Amino acid sequence: EASPQPRSGRSAALRARMEERLLGARFRYLNQQLYSGSSRDAARLFRADPAAFQLYHRGFERQVQRWPERPVQRIVRYLRRRPASLVVADFGCGDCTLATSVRNQVHCFDLVPLTPQVTVCDMAEVPLADESVDVAVFCLSLMATNLQEILGEANRVLKLGGTLMVAEVASRFEDIRAFLKAMAQLGFRTVSKDLSSSYFYLLEFAKTGPARAGTAHGLRLRPCLYKRR
């Protein structure tokens, strides 16, 4: 008579695969919602269902783990070369990896607090005074449709001459030149751009002044949609 153990093992493996597929489907649905709505829509979504943010974050981490390098580590190395006295604002901080990896004071903002360090808010309305930070960071967090409003908020809180660091998925950029031109309209001069990775681009800007009036037409990023695996 066959032992029941192999059958039990197969059942557990099947159940695990089914749970994995359900989690993957839920992650893709949440991801689509975040890229197709404004930052206010995202804030409402996760206020109504905070557990969904943790599920999303788990799915996001699994995607980034496949990359040869995590962009947040590039930003960590950048800040470690700069004075520790610089004040940083991390827009879309996730699990606060940046804050726990540098000596700087880091204001951590996100839609749901994965750690106690996080201040919950809409990325277009962070609770900071005008010109109060030296470095603003968006690490894989420019997701909403109101990009101009969100980056305008970064301009508001940055000191004149302050640094804006943007790390984003390379395939999201439709036209990098048009994007950089739009950033100039928003009051940011391009300091450096690293386009060498096929996974993500790392852009450094300096604040030159307030944003100019009008729509920054080149400020477009494609949605980052994940295929079913």
Domain limits, the chain? 7-65, 71-207
Judged against a pLDDT cut of 80, whether residue 174 lies above it is answered with yes
Q: What is the pLDDT of residues 85-106, one digit of tens each?
A: 999 999 999 999 999 999 999 9
Q: What is the mean pLDDT of residues 114-124?
A: 96
Choose between 205 and 225: higher pLDDT: 205
CATH number for the domain formed by residue range(s) 7-65 = 1.10.10.2150
Give me the pLDDT at residue 176, please: 97
Give me the pLDDT at residue 1, please: 47
Q: What is the mean pLDDT of residues 214-224?
A: 92
Match 């709505």 to its residue by tokens: 37
Q: What is the mean pLDDT of residues 189-216?
A: 96
Choose between 27 and 36: higher pLDDT: 36
Share of residues in the chain with pLDDT > 90 (%): 72
**Overall fold of domain 71-207:** Rossmann fold (3.40.50)
64 confidence band (pLDDT: 50, 70, 90): confident
Structure tokens of 166?
């943007």
- Do the domains 7-65 and 71-207 sit in the same CATH topology, yes or no? no
The DSSP code for 170 is G
Q: What is the mean pLDDT of residues 218-223?
A: 94
Q: What is the mean pLDDT of residues 189-215?
A: 96
Range 130-133 contact pairs with CB under 8 angstroms and sequence separation of 24 or more:
130/156, 130/157, 131/156, 131/157, 131/158, 131/159, 131/160, 131/162, 132/87, 132/157, 132/159, 133/87, 133/88, 133/89, 133/107, 133/157, 133/158, 133/159, 133/162
Judged against a pLDDT cut of 60, whether residue 227 lies above it is answered with no
Q: Which of 17-21, 34-38, 65-69 has the lowest mean pLDDT?
A: 17-21
Q: Which uninterrupted H or E stretch holds 150?
A: helix 147-157
Question: 225 in helix, strand or coil?
Answer: coil
Give me the pLDDT at residue 94, please: 93
**pTM beyond cutoff 0.85:** yes
- Beta strands in the chain, from DSSP E residues, in sequence order: 87-91, 105-110, 118-120, 133-139, 158-169, 188-194, 200-207
